[in-house]
Amino acid sequence: MSADLYLIVGLGNPGGEYAKTRHNAGFLLAERLAERWKADWTFEKKFNARVARVQREDRQALLCEPQTYMNSSGEAVRAIADFYQVSAARMLVVVDDADLLLGELRLRPGGSSGGHHGLESIEQHLGTREYARQRIGIGRVAGARQITGYVLGKFDSTEAALMDKVLTVAADQAECWLDAGIQKAMNQFNGPAAGLDNERKEQ
């Protein structure tokens, strides 16, 4: 495969019961990009992942949704990265983050998993933390430490409307990462998704 191939991985849990839950923000972003880029999903059994292929000017990209369940995401990511010889430097992983306010975006070139089991699995299977990760804030119940029920719950109608706008901005950031590099994408988009700060404060 050519050296200009990039990989964008959205993390989530497969199956109807998890669709549109907070923990599936990565899937939602990958699907938003596929829709924007008019890319068709196929299930690739050898990776245990849904994959969509994209050509953007001189850049080829693969969108990937591991179907392994969140805690084993690294199995699919390693398989597809090995097969297409995609280096960690050309990889973007998109995840939900309960420690960021709803609507906040944080793109980083590497770092710790922050306790996110999907990122932990990818780090374990790739043997590195040096891959870009885009965190999409989903908020958390104030003061709650046990948040499993919250992250696996669905957005309420108000949150869903806000999340729709956030995904548009998050898709813009992912496109910027692909087209112009991580520094510009971080500088331009990190923080509250544009225009949503006041709206979020009213929640």
Task: Give catalytic residues, as residue numbers.
Answer: 23
The residue assigned the tokens 């990937």 is 64
Whether 63 contacts 52, CB under 8 Å? yes
Instruction: Tell me the C-alpha to C-alpha distance, in Å, between residue 14 and each of 38, 102, 164.
Output: 22, 22, 20
DSSP string, 112-175: --TT-HHHHHHHHHHT-S-SEEEEEE----TT-S--HHHHTSBP-HHHHHHHHHHHHHHHHHHH
Q: How many CA atoms lie within 13 A of 16 on its CB side?
A: 0
The residue assigned the tokens 């973007």 is 92
